[in-house]
Amino acid sequence: MAHDLARPGQALGAKPLPVAALLALAMTGFICIATETLPAGLLPQMANGLGVSQSLAGQSVAAYALGSLVAAIPLTLLTQTWSRRNVLLLTVVGFLAFNSLTAVSNSYSLTLIARFLAGAAAGLAWSLLAGYARRMVEPQQQGRAMALAMVGTPIALSVGVPLGTWLGTVTGWRMAFGVMSAMTLLLIVWIVIAVPNYPGQKGGNEVSLGRAAAMPGVRAVLSVVLFWMLAHNILYTYIAPFAARADMSERVDLILLTFGLAALVGIWITGRVVDRALRASVLIALFAFILIALLLALLGTNPFILLFATAVWGITFGGAATQLQTALADTAGKEADIALSMNVVVWNTAIAGGSILGGILLDTGGVATFPPAVFVLALVAFSIAYAAQNDGFPPGNRRH
């Protein structure tokens, strides 16, 4: 896939993509996602090891998300004058330290603190990765570079999480976090060897949170992020009860695998079209998601329809991070890092909001209410993106 993503840039006469460096960023994203979701598959073991209920053990996921929410913007502002590789190494060393602390902790409170701090490291990482990838390549290659740098997310969701769950079940949950630390140690060496360094903002030229937030295009893109990810997370968070509606409660693993593999296809497609047709790719993805919500509302009890819908849903979601962060960085210009830190906050708010809203829908109307809710939210996202043709999602080739 790395080779396929690199090839179009070469066809344009541009320099080859720095694949090794971009894959180091992708590995950072992989560790962010795998660290966040690992407890979800190991709740019984973690609850046993820490002497708490499974519901309390599950708060380790919430603590991580809260860390990202709280820390992304202030840490980005604090480190904006630092050299970029030092900031990247800081985030990765944070994962090494806090995953190791989680692996050895016998205290529930200490585990929550470690998870919160790991989430803070992730918040800083996500605000950095897209801008870092863009700086490594020529302007006409930025979309493809970001697609390659973001490939760690669907890989973590489709392969990393199930493997981590299996490893934790076989060897214990502490070993699973220990393996994450070992991978992080290798990543530190990889970054030092392969990732180029770039200066931060010069003193006196630091970007402003208020200036970035005031940009119409930034507001439009972040609004699309909010509604699109709310819709996605209602379905993704509660996929198990939704699968039961189609008599597939024993095949949730197949549904998640289908989604993850389809997401890889989506990011590959996005890497090939994002620089030429960013607006069109966003609108097509959202329109397809709207149709999938309608299909699930009408025929979602059929297991074959559910698997087909999941595959299309995965394709539409796979490129979303690349599409939305490219649009946001293009719109924000030199305020890109701050705008991307705001994206971290909005994205994590949508994850939490999808969990809360999905829970309310599940308790009040059952899983049959999910597709209509997803339909409405995705339609709102589509309408905002469609209207933002001047600021946020302009037509044609990306404006370099």
DSSP H helices in 141-172: 142-149, 152-155, 161-171
How confident is the model over 207-266, as pLDDT tens digits?
Answer: 567 777 777 889 999 999 999 999 998 888 788 788 889 998 878 778 878 888 898 899
Question: For residue 218, which amino acid is it?
Answer: V
Residue listed under structure tokens 């992989």: 30
How confident is the model over 351-363, as pLDDT tens digits?
Answer: 878 878 888 888 8
How confident is the model over 21-45, as pLDDT tens digits?
Answer: 999 999 999 999 889 888 877 878 8
| pLDDT at residue 203, as a whole number | 56
Domains defined for the chain, CATH in brackets: 1-206 (1.20.1250.20), 208-391 (1.20.1250.20)
Per-residue tokens: 50: 């820490």
| pLDDT at residue 264, as a whole number | 87
Is the distance from CB of 211 to CB of 37 less than 8 angstroms? Answer: no
| pLDDT at residue 7, as a whole number | 46
| pLDDT at residue 8, as a whole number | 44
| pLDDT at residue 314, as a whole number | 93
Is 368 a residue whose pLDDT tops 90?
yes
Mean pLDDT of the chain: 87
Higher pLDDT, 318 or 336: 318
Is 154 a residue whose pLDDT tops 50?
yes
How confident is the model over 41-100, as pLDDT tens digits?
Answer: 787 888 899 998 877 887 888 889 889 888 888 998 899 889 999 999 999 999 999 999
Alpha-carbon span 41 to 177, nearest angstrom: 12
Alpha-carbon span 63 to 58, nearest angstrom: 9
| pLDDT at residue 327, as a whole number | 92
| pLDDT at residue 400, as a whole number | 54
| pLDDT at residue 14, as a whole number | 61
Residue listed under structure tokens 């970054």: 191
Pick the closest to residue 259 from 369, 358, 162, 325 (CA basis).
162
Is the distance from CB of 94 to CB of 118 less than 8 angstroms? Answer: yes
How confident is the model over 182-204, as pLDDT tens digits?
Answer: 999 999 999 999 999 998 876 54
Alpha-carbon span 317 to 259, nearest angstrom: 9
How confident is the model over 133-142, as pLDDT tens digits?
Answer: 989 998 888 8
CB-based contacts of 379: which residues, under 8 Å, 6+ apart? Answer: 290
Question: For residue 216, which amino acid is it?
Answer: P
